Amino acid sequence: MEFITPIIEQVCIMYLLIIVGIVAFRCNLFNRETASQLSGILVKIVTPAVIIQAFQIKFDSSLAKGLLVAAALAIITHLVGIVLSLALVRKTADSRQYLSDRLAIIFSNCGFFGIPLVFAIFGNIGVFYCSMYMAVYNVLLWTYGVSTFSNSFSPRNLLKVILSPQIIGTVVGILFFLLSVRLPSMLISTTKYIADLNTPLAMIIVGSYIAQTDIFGAIRDLRLYVISSLRILLVPAVLLAVLFFWRVDRNIAGAIFISAACPVGAMTMILADQFDADPVHASRLITISTLLSVFSLPVMLTLFHLVTG
């Protein structure tokens, strides 16, 4: 119970921040364009700052090996999602909705939702390992994810991966870590101020996405519950089985597990909109999975605690 209480408290705090975002959007304190601009600030400035800050630790060979383990677990998790999505979501001839469903199972909201929760529970060391999950996520999103929607692969997509702020932040952070480069105190303080925006800003943005969705229409769609359950229950459950047999450092396991247990990622809706694959359905998936995760996350993290000790 000592472990689960702070988790429940943190999840409740995050959902209160989501409610702030919903209310602010409904009260016209900001609009869809503002929400999109805030997302850009979060992705391009705040998240890289969080990652770089996490890598501002003294080099240690065990930590370096831990990054490789984290990367391996992230790859396994996404492969599990790909296999489950192909096996359980059938292709339909009259709708491209199934494409959104498949990506929803594979790609979690590890950036907006995962990093704040990982940081709250495991601190900077958790974000240190979580960054590898995000790196794998971005590579697969802009390669496998885009090719799933477009039925083709473009080298331009790979360039997007290389130039994405999260990848740049991760590469810079890893170099700082490997070379034991410490930022001057003034830059560290500046980076920390920016990084501290991550949790409230991310949750308010998630709230704005929910506010833009027809919630009453979403809660009547049984398919949304099925796909959401695969994302927030089955994928992390398979990873938990892997962690049962492969005993790794608890910080590594926790960071990757939380990332895997997060609700559907916002990029699913963005890609669905870009490739005409029913973005409304994708936005409903994000909403329902986010609402369900208020119950699933404490349960899954309790199981994680029991399995990993």
Report the distance separating Cα 255 and Cα 100, nearest Å.
Answer: 26
Instruction: Write the pLDDT tens digit of every residue in 21-37.
Output: 999 999 999 888 888 88
Cross-strand partners of 108: 264
Among residues 107, 117, 80, which one has the least CA distance to residue 203? 117
pLDDT of residue 252: 96
pLDDT of residue 157: 66
| Crossing angle (nearest 10°) for helices 97-106 and 279-308 | 20
Report the distance separating Cα 85 and Cα 101, nearest Å.
Answer: 8
Q: Is 302 helix (H, G, I), strand (E, B) or coil?
A: helix
- Buried/exposed code over 194-207 (b: 16+ C-beta within 10 A; e: otherwise): bbebbbebbbbbbb
Name the domain count of the chain. Answer: 1
Task: Say which CATH number the domain at 85 has.
Answer: 1.20.1530.20
pLDDT of residue 2: 55
Residues sharing a CB contact under 8 Å with residue 268, sequence separation 6 or more, in sequence order: 100, 103, 104, 107, 282, 285, 286
Instruction: Write the pLDDT tens digit of every residue in 281-303.
Output: 888 998 899 889 989 998 998 89
Question: Containing domain of residue 279, as a range?
Answer: 4-308
Confidence of residue 253 (pLDDT cuts 50, 70, 90): very high
Report the distance separating Cα 190 and Cα 177, nearest Å.
Answer: 19
Please identify which residue in the block is written with the tokens 């989501």: 18
Instruction: Write the pLDDT tens digit of every residue in 128-186.
Output: 999 899 889 888 888 888 888 877 666 776 777 677 787 888 889 899 999 989 999 99
